[in-house]
Amino acid sequence: MRPQTQFWAGLPLDRPLVMGILNVTPDSFSDGGRHFDSQEAIAAGRRMRAAGADILDIGGESTRPGSAVVTVAEEIVRVVPVIAALAAEGAVISVDTRNAATMAAALDAGARIINDISGLAFDPGARALAAARNCPVVLMHMRGTPQTMDAFCAYDDVVADVVRELALRRDEALAAGIAPEHICLDPGYGFAKNTAQNIELMRGIPALLALGQPLLVGVSRKRFIGQMVGGLPPAGRDAGSHAAGLYAVAQGAHIVRVHDVAGASQGLRVWHEVSKSRA
């Protein structure tokens, strides 16, 4: 069952939402370099909106395993012009960052949502900033950092452990003054989880929904998708990614975070219409 939340970030949750991934980076695992130029990134954001993206998730630091750390100043330079241009055109923007200074600059430029892979735990100022700005947040589960996370894949029970650790991040956010209706959770597929654990965590979506917050699922082009389909490179994983996303929304997930917005939007539109008719 879906939580009773009717809206998140001003968006109705009566159908699955599509969050388009827009990396303004030279080194992201799937599309690094394609949108590093700000004008190309802005054009890509427009194409995503036209293809059906409800949210554009803009990030300036790659968080793939072993990725290089980017300075906050460089991250801000990368994302702010893109956010400002697309927000001015009415796009709903989330900023994908771990850094409070980048969060502040992005919100000033027109972003509405903070999407933090660390669940607001990396930067000591992040929770206070999100509370003061009264903005929606996505709290993701991970262990370690992008540079070390592959060494933290030991779980007693991956579903129970992720539920418990996400609940802790949620409770820390609430204690910092972030409104409960602003919190969305992300189980962090691919972050400190191997293929078998990611599959088990997909099957555990009902337990994640029991935490009572909207759920975002980010499986697009992830390594575990590639391993399930014979080792295809990231660009060849869209069909598998959409299958996993449809499985997630059928279990009750609210938002899918994707690279291929057109394919995801089409699949979800058909799924939603068929499911609605059957209901």
Question: b/e map of 161-197 (b: 16 or more CB within 10 Å)?
Answer: bbbebbbebbeebeeeebeeebbbbbbbbbbbbbeeb
Look at phi and psi of residue 198 and say left if phi exceeds 0, alpha if psi is from -120 to 50, else beta.
alpha
The span from the CA of 178 to the CA of 108, in Å, is 18
Residues paired with 115 in a beta bridge: 96, 138
The span from the CA of 121 to the CA of 186, in Å, is 14
Active-site annotation, residues: 222, 257
DSSP annotation of 181 reads: G
- 3-class SS at 130? helix
What Rg do the C-alpha atoms of the chain give, in angstroms?
17
Residues 6+ apart with CB under 8 A from 21: 30, 31, 57, 59, 220, 257, 258, 259
- For the residues of 197-208, what is the DSSP string, one character each? HHHHHHHTHHHH
Asked if 97 and 76 count as a contact pair (C-beta separation under 8 A), the reply is no
- Kindly report the number of other CB atoms within 10 A of residue 56's CB atom: 28
Q: Hey, what's the torsion of the CAs at 125, 128, 132, 134, to 10 degrees? A: 110
